[in-house]
Amino acid sequence: MSKQSSSPRSQYNLPPQYSNANGFTYQEDDFSRAPNIFIDLDTVKQQKRNAFEMVDLEADASKERAKAEFESNRVAIEMRANHESEIAQVNLEQSKQQALFSLDQQHAQRRLEIEQRAQEQRLSIETAARQLMLQAQEQRMNKELNEKLVNISRSGSMGFIFNNSHQ
Which residues are CB-contacts of 44 (< 8 A; sequence separation ≥ 6)?
12
Distance CA 28, CA 16 (A): 6
Q: How far is residue 8's CA from residue 37's CA, in Å, rounded to a whole number? A: 18
CA atoms within 13 A on the CB side of 116: 6
Q: Where are the domains of the chain?
A: 42-125
Q: Which of 52, 42, 41 lies closest to 8, judged by CA?
A: 52
Q: Rounded CA gap, 53 and 46, in Å?
A: 10
Local structure of residue 16 (DSSP, 8 states):
P
Cα distance between residue 6 and residue 55, in whole Å: 10
Total number of residues shown for the chain: 167
- What is the 3-state secondary structure of 102-155? HHHHHHHHHHHHHHHHHHHHHHHHHHHHHHHHHHHHHHHHHHHHHHHHHHHHHH
Q: What tens-digit pLDDT sequence spans the chain (167 residues)?
A: 444 444 444 455 555 555 555 555 545 554 455 556 788 899 999 999 999 999 999 999 999 999 999 999 999 999 999 999 999 999 999 999 999 999 999 999 999 999 999 999 999 999 999 999 999 999 999 999 999 999 888 887 655 555 555 55
